[in-house]
Amino acid sequence: MKKQRQKHKPAGHRYTTLKQLCNLIPGHMVTNLAKKHGVDARSQTYTPWSHVVSLLYAHFAHALGLNDVCDALQMNAAALSTIRGAVPPSRNNLSHANQVRDANMAEELYWSMMKHLMDTVPGFAKGKVRSGYLRRFSKAIHALDSTTIQLVANSMDWAKHRRRKAAAKCHMRLDLQSFLPRCAIVDTAKHHDSRKTLSLCADLEAGEIVVFDKAYIKFKHLFELTERGINWAGRAKDNMQYTVMRSLETTKNKRILRDEVIELMLEKSKKAYPCELRRVVALVEINGKDVEMVFLTNHLEWSAWTVAELYRCRWDIEVFFKEIKQTLQLSDFLGYSANAVRWQVWTGLLVHLLMRCLKFMHGWDHSFKRLFTVVRVSLWRRWNLPALLESYGTAKPPGRIRGAPEQAYLPGFI
């Protein structure tokens, strides 16, 4: 009988995997944000740092409820205390903290960590992670979309948007070249996606490109983007009324059916968008079948296939949403209030950011879901995290902080 080959056991470490991950967050950051948002004034025995660590653990471990989180942290209280003195919460402490502590702190923590990682990890979120088509553009390309997070209707009246359904929505603008969010809004699912367009596009710069689906077609806002010098492309609505001003050559690409310059016909629409628009009709392959799709853009010089390809790249944001829903704990919530849901969503996005940084630093070649699984099962193990990833045969040595000595690595990985 052939002996089964065993995987190489990773090197030991004085810290648990969870501590090595939490050490990526600078020690002063949570303290400063807690003071800024008045969270420290609402905490006595259960510190803001302990609160953040508890929610990070809930996502890493896929905890099913308050008891799951509290019992696990209390059973590992000794190891937890080494994470900058974090303490395990009682069920009441964690529930109360989620309800009354300002969730804007969690949101600002996410964006502060993104800036910190971009500044300290060379190349993270700055290089173009996609090969091929997107490399042809020197300006950033963004995708707008939202994902629905189902909630419990009979417990969350604030989130009801149907008779028997409740949900929250995460509206997002994703940088398609770095595959990281540039703007996110967590709100109820009551309102139409187009209401968030103005906020999502507020900080776009001239020359940048934004792509979206039919839900974000709002001509008044699209005209504002055009005046700001921002290029956009999206799906046209089926009931759009227009006049063809002139037809453009479709070259030799047989998948481009029509390429036209149009003007809107209805008085209200024409007043909202008085300029010419580009309308491209193309065959797009979906699930092995060719489907006719109609695209709109304000850029009159791109090739017609460029417009279709830009929209195809928009599907990357669907991949992003699938990635976070497969790995983060966004199905069972630790609280019923809007504030508690926002805490859990923003700390979940922070977990995703830390894992993306880990993936980048160590050249992980497997799926993101597998990386998350490897980390999750080793949270309380005292294993060297880079060695653990390297034992799977896909990781590279850890990256150094910019400007640090040759032997200096990110905190928690030494």
How is residue 334 annotated by DSSP?
S
pLDDT of residue 127: 54
Of 44-53, 289-298, 353-362, 389-398, minimum mean pLDDT range: 389-398
Strand order in the sheet with 180-188: 180-188, 166-175, 141-151, 209-212, 231-235, 289-297, 277-286, 256-264, 242-247
pLDDT, position 165: 63
Q: Answer yes or no: are the C-beta atoms of 102 and 39 closer than 8 Å.
A: yes
User: How confident is residue 161, by pLDDT bands cut at 50, 70 and 90?
Assistant: low
In this structure, are residues 293 and 235 in contact, taking their beta carbons and an 8 Å threshold? yes
DSSP sequence for 147-171? EEEEE-TTT-GGGB-SSS-EEEEEE
- Give the model confidence (pLDDT) of 264-314 as tens digits: 999 999 999 999 999 999 988 877 788 899 999 999 988 888 888 888 888
More confident residue, 312 or 404: 312
68 or 397, which is more confident: 68
Residue 410 or residue 273, greater confidence: 273
Q: What is the pLDDT of residue 6?
A: 53
pLDDT score, position 363: 83
Lowest mean pLDDT: which of 83-97, 185-199, 385-399? 385-399
Q: Please state, for a pLDDT cut of 70, what percent of the chain lies above it.
A: 85
Where are the domains positioned within the chain?
A: 17-106+336-393, 132-325
d(CA 94, CA 152): 19
pLDDT category at 217 given cuts 50, 70, 90 is confident
CATH fold, domain 132-325, is: Transposase Inhibitor Protein From Tn5; Chain A, domain 1 (3.90.350)
| Structural contact between residues 233 and 209, judged by C-beta atoms closer than 8 angstroms | yes
DSSP 184-195: EEEEESSS-GGG
Query: Which of 36-50, 63-77, 280-294 is modeled with the greatest confidence?
Result: 63-77
CB neighbours of 372 closer than 8 A, spacing ≥ 6?
327, 355
Cβ neighbourhood burial of 163 (10 Å; 0-12, 13-18, 19+): exposed
